[in-house]
Amino acid sequence: MQNPAGHAVGGQDQRAWTGGRGPPGTGADGGAGARQDLAGGGGSHSGGGHRGRRPAGADRRRADAGHAHAAPRSAAARRPLPAVDGPADRPLVILDPGHGGHDPGAVAQGGAAREKDLTLALARTVRARILAGGRARVALTRDTDRYLSLRERIEIGRALGARLFVSLHADAAPAGDAAHGATIYTLSETASDAEAAALARSENRADIVRGIDLGAARDDVASILIDLAQRETRADALAFARLLHREAEASVPFRPDHLRTASLMVLKAPDMPSVLLEAGYITNATDLAFIGAPDGQRRIADAIARAIDAHFARKAARR
């Protein structure tokens, strides 16, 4: 597909990827160990162990935390990479709308809204805002209502060589819990609190239930290598998370503990700074009215785009 003048669609969108490998000739497979171990342990958020109103089976989207090796995928599982939009010389940002397909994510009371729909609408709004600024390229892990495993989401970003990965979600609380406000998650093997740990356990189960075994626990050598690779990546992710809160706090309601850590698999790529934004609680009427409205989504998108601009400006200034 051709882009409007001034924007280029990345050629990589025509290539296919399989499991732990990127497109041929890109080096995206990272060698025998790197790609196999990238999935290790964390969870992908989306949602939280504190999600309250979730249909049976929705936990299928989660993969087991603490594991690193994925079973090989068959040739039938090959998918084309998503289109990349934006100026060809700009860094690439991956937007990851959580859930999709058979997995609705969190569901509002009475079925008034589903997380998978809110996250896709928000991702499209963020994409438009990024492209309007012209300072980054952007791709969505999904641009339709389809299911992607946590590993597939990570592999899309790595195969395309993303410089930043932003996973978008809407949280849920148990009945009677008045929790509200946005939260930004970054990766840590040690959760910041019990609620964050519960989120990781819940979010990380999906792939195993779907028969995608993320494998046996990492051996000591693989664990050490991944940890070394992740140190700089984690520092970049935390710096971006702080920028995102700075840019959003004036227009987006946040929880008091707005920066949190958890072992979320979707944040586990050792070479791709990744954050997960819970835009608000779908189980809170005020939050739902905000994140479900065009004006609320625009405010969130504007803040994300400003944070992205500031993030890459900082990195450019250090060169």
At residue 183, does pLDDT exceed 90?
Answer: yes
CA distance readout (Å), 94 to 14, 44, 75, 130: 17, 14, 24, 11
pLDDT at 223: 62
8 A C-beta contact, residue 70 and residue 142: no
Bridging pattern class, strands 16-17 and 79-80: antiparallel
At residue 242, does pLDDT exceed 70?
Answer: yes
Phi and psi at 291, nearest 5°, equal -75, -15
CATH number at residue 43: 3.40.630.40
The answer to whether residue 3 is domain-embedded is no
Q: How confident is the model at residue 307 (pLDDT cuts 50, 70, 90)?
A: very high
The answer to whether residue 150 is domain-embedded is yes
8 A C-beta contact, residue 98 and residue 202: no
pLDDT at 318: 86
CA distance 237 to 187: 8
The answer to whether residue 32 is domain-embedded is yes
pLDDT at 267: 92
Mean pLDDT for the chain overall: 75
The answer to whether residue 124 is domain-embedded is yes
The answer to whether residue 6 is domain-embedded is no
Domain region containing 249 = 11-317
pTM of the model: 0.71
The answer to whether residue 1 is domain-embedded is no
pLDDT at 72: 38
The number of distinct structural domains making up the chain is 1
What average pLDDT does this structure show over 85-107?
Answer: 97
**Residue 274 in tokens:** 């990744």
